[in-house]
Amino acid sequence: MARHSRKFTPRQRTKRPLGASITSNAAPKTPHDKPVPHELGWLVKPPLSARLFQKSGLGRPLRGEDGITLSSMEILFCNWHRHLPLPSADWFEKEIENDSNLLAKAVIFDTARSGGEIVIPSSNITDYQLSSDIFALKWKRNQSQFNTEPVSHVRWYWTFETLDWTEIFMWAEEVEELNCKCDIFIIDEEMEVTMYRVSFIEPEGSQKIWTELSNDETELISRMWDSKITTSSGFHLPIIGNWPLNSIGVEHLSGINLRTEEGVWLEKKINGEEIETDSKLYDDLINRGLILRPGFKFGSRWRIYDDEVSKSHAPWLLQTVTDGPKTWENACLSIRLSEGVHKKWICAIQNNSKWRFMQVERWSPGKD
């Protein structure tokens, strides 16, 4: 079978060789001195140390002596982008034996800085409050880390790591209280990195809700419900008037077809009964004026509309925390599918008696 002809050029992947610069900036006429071991890391002396710290936010200044200390991750970054030689020919082999994640962290650090933002490892931070288990803080390109607040807190994970949505939620709330954004970098075994931005949203729609119905409208719905026919997927209500609650049901075969979850919710409303626990999330969303339709085709619980289905596409695909992806590989698939059909992927989590909606979207360095 003949191969399809390619009409595009594949993206060139960065190889990041050891001991060689990948920056287009010219090397200094006099080579930089090699970093030397120090109890706090790897020592870089002036004048290079001042430039790295002041301009690039790299390293930790030493008290009582000149210079900065760099982590092994920062050594690799400076080797690739600042013409800093490695400490020795076998340095990398020794360092990766001590930290099996060194290469992953160095690649993520390099990727995070590729858009021009200042990204500072959490181990170097002394003047800002850190959220739990973070990798770094990030500042915008046009900001200074010395006199402005960071724009985001950064975490990273391997693709194969188990995903704990509740823990991510708690971290995102912690970062939200610090008035920052949440960035997550995911790295695979090819050393390719994908970035995500996590945020909280409050979806709202334009549909009439139950409490806005008139007495005549609720009476009509009640009479139609009394005439219901149970089906395999829910209920069929013969039409005896204009259906006033457009947020639920689909008109088909001269009637209103309700899914089981819609019928269960509607019966509670008609009878003035308390909504059951399993229907609390549905009730919350419907009371926001939204329309919920099955998300089967998109691998989600619901696709959610903020306007009539005939007038707009669904802005969101929603999954519950219990049914959400269990690894970052699966999360990547869900989020990429959502964005491929121009929707945002959100995860619904109950915090005490309140529902919160955590949006996870693909991001890219330099976008802030």
In this predicted model, what pLDDT tens digit does every residue of 63-112 receive, in sequence order?
Answer: 878 899 999 999 999 999 999 999 999 999 999 999 999 999 999 999 99
Higher pLDDT, residue 342 or 66: 342
Give a yes or no: residue 91 inside a domain: yes
CATH code, domain carrying 332: 3.40.1350.10
Higher pLDDT, residue 9 or 145: 145
pLDDT of 359 higher than 70: yes
- Could you tell me the residue range of the domain that residue 46 belongs to? 33-100
Task: Identify the residue whose tokens are 């181990």.
Answer: 123
Give ∠ CA 194-198-203 in degrees, rounded to 5: 130
Task: Return the pLDDT at 181.
Answer: 97
> How many helices (DSSP H) and strands (DSSP E) are in the chain?
9, 18
Q: How many independent structural domains does the chain possess?
A: 3
Query: What is the Cα–Cα distance from 95 to 109, expressed in whole angstroms?
Result: 17
φ, ψ at 139 (rounded to 5°): -115, 150
Q: pTM of the entire structure?
A: 0.91
Judgement on whether residues 291 and 261 belong to the same structural domain of the protein: no
Give a yes or no: residue 81 inside a domain: yes
pLDDT of 171 higher than 80: yes
pLDDT band, residue 352 (cuts 50/70/90)? confident
Query: What is the Cα–Cα distance from 257 to 250, expressed in whole angstroms?
Result: 5
At residue 348, the 3 state secondary structure works out as: strand
Give a yes or no: residue 190 inside a domain: no
What residues are paired with 44 via a beta bridge? 68
Last residue of a domain, one of 283, 298, 322: 283
φ, ψ at 69 (rounded to 5°): -110, 140
Give a yes or no: residue 151 inside a domain: no
At residue 311, the 3 state secondary structure works out as: coil
Find the range with the poorest average confidence among 13-17, 142-146, 151-155, 297-301: 13-17
Give a yes or no: residue 202 inside a domain: no
Judgement on whether residues 292 and 262 belong to the same structural domain of the protein: no
Task: Return the pLDDT at 24.
Answer: 82
Judgement on whether residues 267 and 309 belong to the same structural domain of the protein: no
Last residue of a domain, one of 283, 309, 337: 283
Give a yes or no: residue 69 inside a domain: yes
Q: Which residues contact 187 (CB under 8 A, 6 or more apart)?
A: 104, 107, 108, 156, 157, 158, 159, 193, 194
| Percent residues over pLDDT 90 in the chain | 85
Query: What is the Cα–Cα distance from 183 to 137, expressed in whole angstroms?
Result: 9
Judgement on whether residues 277 and 333 belong to the same structural domain of the protein: no
Task: Return the pLDDT at 3.
Answer: 58
pLDDT band, residue 241 (cuts 50/70/90)? confident
Give a yes or no: residue 164 inside a domain: no
Judgement on whether residues 290 and 329 belong to the same structural domain of the protein: yes
pLDDT of 2 higher than 60: no
pLDDT of 6 higher than 70: no
pLDDT band, residue 5 (cuts 50/70/90)? low
CA-nearest of 143, 144, 138 to 119 is 138
Find the range with the poorest average confidence among 2-16, 68-82, 170-184: 2-16
Query: What is the Cα–Cα distance from 182 to 171, expressed in whole angstroms?
Result: 9
Largest Cα span, the chain? 89
DSSP conformational letter for 128: S
**DSSP secondary structure string, 181-212?**
EEEEEEE-TT--EEEEEEEEE-----S--GGG
Last residue of a domain, one of 253, 283, 313: 283
Give a yes or no: residue 181 inside a domain: no
Judgement on whether residues 294 and 267 belong to the same structural domain of the protein: no
